């Protein structure tokens, strides 16, 4: 029998920020949860849009056209090819939706590049 995904339990097991975990698959897409804190690498995803849905806390997505600040229950879609830099001074818990092959740092590898981890 299928069991529901407990996002709180998965997030409780994440001790480092910016280390996403794939919690479900939807066709060729991953639903990933991540803890954020501080600045992430400025990057873009040339081939895909990226969805950010804040579960708790606050996340700012720095864009060339202006910042987008999200609180719990708010989401934003960053269009493909758009340079962006997630930033969360106080931390947030976020659900990401993106193709399974998407690397978290997009076209800008850094020390924050994470391997795909399915839970």
**What are the sequence ranges of the domains in the chain?**
7-99
Q: Is 7 helix (H, G, I), strand (E, B) or coil?
A: helix
Q: What is the pLDDT of residue 2?
A: 80
Report the CATH fold assignment for 7-99: Jelly Rolls (2.60.120)
Burial class (CB in 10 A: 0-12, 13-18, 19+), 42: middle
State how far the Cα of 23 lies from the Cα of 40, in Å rounded to an integer.
21
State how far the Cα of 25 lies from the Cα of 79, in Å rounded to an integer.
21
Distance of CA 105 to the CA centre of its chain: 10
Rounded to two decimals, what is the model's pTM? 0.94
pLDDT tens digits, the chain, 119 residues: what are they?
788 999 999 999 999 999 999 999 999 999 999 999 999 999 999 999 999 999 999 999 999 999 999 999 999 999 999 999 999 999 999 999 999 999 999 999 999 999 999 99
């Amino acid at each position: 029998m299928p069991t529901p995904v407990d996002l709180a339990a998965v997030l409780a097991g994440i001790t480092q920020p910016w280390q996403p975990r794939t919690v479900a698959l939807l066709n060729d897409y991953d639903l990933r949860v991540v803890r954020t804190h501080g600045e992430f690498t400025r990057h873009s995803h040339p081939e895909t849009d990226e969805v950010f849905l804040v579960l708790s806390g606050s996340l700012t997505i720095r864009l060339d056209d202006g910042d987008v600040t999200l609180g719990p229950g708010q989401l934003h879609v960053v269009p493909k090819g758009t340079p962006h830099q997630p930033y969360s001074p106080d931390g947030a818990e976020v659900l990401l939706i993106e193709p399974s092959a998407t690397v978290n740092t997009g076209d800008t590898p850094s020390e924050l590049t994470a391997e795909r981890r399915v839970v």
